[in-house]
Amino acid sequence: MSKRNKLQKFAELLSFPNVYENFNPVEPQLHGKNGVPVDLKGKWCSQHFHNDNPIVLELACGRGEYTLDMARSSPNRNFIGVDVKGARIWKGAGIALEEGLENVAFLRTRIEQIDLFFEPGEISEIWITFPDPFLSNSKSNRRLTAPRFLNVYKKLLRPEGLIHLKTDEPQLFEFTLEVLQAYEGAHILYQDDDIYAKDLPMPELNIKTYYERMHLEEGKTIKYVRFQLKEDR
């Protein structure tokens, strides 16, 4: 992608009513359409979606393929795709507008900072689909199921909130299971190291992104774990 093309997409993002951006990571300020500052913390349903439906986050959403497909099949839930790359979000946000998907929004920010933009208990589910596994052990704390991220998710989720991880990477899958076994209050509800070898336990798992199709063509197996983070007693 040329630099000019990226700049054009960034400019177009500012005109999208379904995209909110944090331009400066040291200042917890969101900007909406035309760069206007907005405060949506605790107000996503009332001020953006204009309903009381539960909110589902997709973290590291990329082009938003998973966010879009879940939104299409579940009109009674609100979906927010989160990614730091504006050029990626541009694709999914544009499709959502073209299709009139009013239950979709996108948030451009660093994932470790999402608690700056949501109130505790504002989120009902979190999906982590094919994230960067950061295979180097020195970067294990950057994996989206590392304890420091779980601490953030736990704060944002409702008491019975769910977290889903879908990945083709065995090391990330095993790392996640080990973290959950040691994490206070974590409860694994379902796990499978080859989801397509049997009937799927939920329709959302049948969504296949461009990269997942590539992984399957390469003979990789897709792994999945669903869990909750309960309050310490």
For the residues of the chain, what is the DSSP string, one character each? Answer: --HHHHHHHHHHHTT-TTEEE-S-TTS--EE-GGG-EE--TTTIIIIII-S-PPEEEEET-TT-HHHHHHHHH-TTSEEEEEES-HHHHHHHHHHHHHHT-TTEEEEES-GGGGGGSS-TT-EEEEEEES-----SGGGGGGSTTSHHHHHHHHHHEEEEEEEEEEES-HHHHHHHHHHHHHSTTEEEEEEES-GGGS--SSGGGG---HHHHHHHHTTPPPEEEEEEEPPP-
- Mean per-residue pLDDT, 129-155: 95
- Mean per-residue pLDDT, 166-187: 97
pLDDT band at residue 67 using 50, 70 and 90 as cut-offs: very high
pLDDT band at residue 10 using 50, 70 and 90 as cut-offs: confident
The pLDDT value recorded for residue 101 is 98
The pLDDT value recorded for residue 117 is 97
Catalytic residue positions, numbered:
132
Q: Is it the case that residue 183 has pLDDT exceeding 90?
A: yes
- Mean per-residue pLDDT, 97-123: 97
- Mean per-residue pLDDT, 189-193: 97
- Mean per-residue pLDDT, 58-71: 96
- Mean per-residue pLDDT, 176-190: 97
CATH entry 3.40.50.150 includes domain 3-229: yes
**pLDDT top residue among 103 and 87:** 103
Low-confidence winner among 4-13, 28-37, 94-103, 172-181 (lowest mean pLDDT): 4-13
- Mean per-residue pLDDT, 197-215: 92
pLDDT band at residue 40 using 50, 70 and 90 as cut-offs: very high
The pLDDT mean for the chain works out to 94
89-108 pLDDT tens trace: 999 999 999 999 999 999 99
The pLDDT value recorded for residue 9 is 82
